[in-house]
Amino acid sequence: QKEVEQNSGPLSVPEGAIASLNCTYSDRVSQSFFWYRQYSGKSPELIMSIYSNGDKEDGRFTAQLNKASQYVSLLIRDSQPSDSATYLCAVKSGSARQLTFGSGTQLTVLP
């Protein structure tokens, strides 16, 4: 079982819709969670971090964390074609300094 799992997609949504991206993790002592956006051929760009259960909103992005269910999600409201990218979920577990990444979900926003 992979430590961080994401649906690889592709996920397609129409412009203006809400895109929902999901991630599960296996290590119960994980404490820090991150969403990165990666355009094709580019490096990952940090868009959200979340450390506590509940929702965290930043503009059109909302991260949701449920540690009991070991689940973290990212909602993108009013999706735009420029949001088309691969979204990577990353987790920091226990005393480790590094992040463990999922394989990413490819999102396409259709005009």
Partner 1 sequence: DTGVSQDPRHKITKRGQNVTFRCDPISEHNRLYWYRQTLGQGPEFLTYFQNEAQLEKSRLLSDRFSAERPKGSFSTLEIQRTEQGDSAMYLCASSPRWEARGVNYEQYFGPGTRLTVT
Chain positions contacting partner 1, by CB under 8 A: 4, 8, 32, 34, 36, 42-46, 49, 51, 88, 90, 92, 96-104
Pair 28, 70: CB distance under 8 Å = yes
Q: Which is nearer to partner 1, 29 or 111 (CB)?
A: 29
Q: Which is nearer to partner 1, 100 or 108 (CB)?
A: 100
Q: How far is the CB of 14 from partner 1 (least distance, A)?
A: 25
Q: Between the CA of residue 19 and those of 9, 32, 46, 100, what are the distances in Å?
A: 12, 22, 18, 23
Backbone angles phi, psi at 20, to 5 degrees: -120, 120
Q: Which is nearer to partner 1, 94 or 111 (CB)?
A: 94
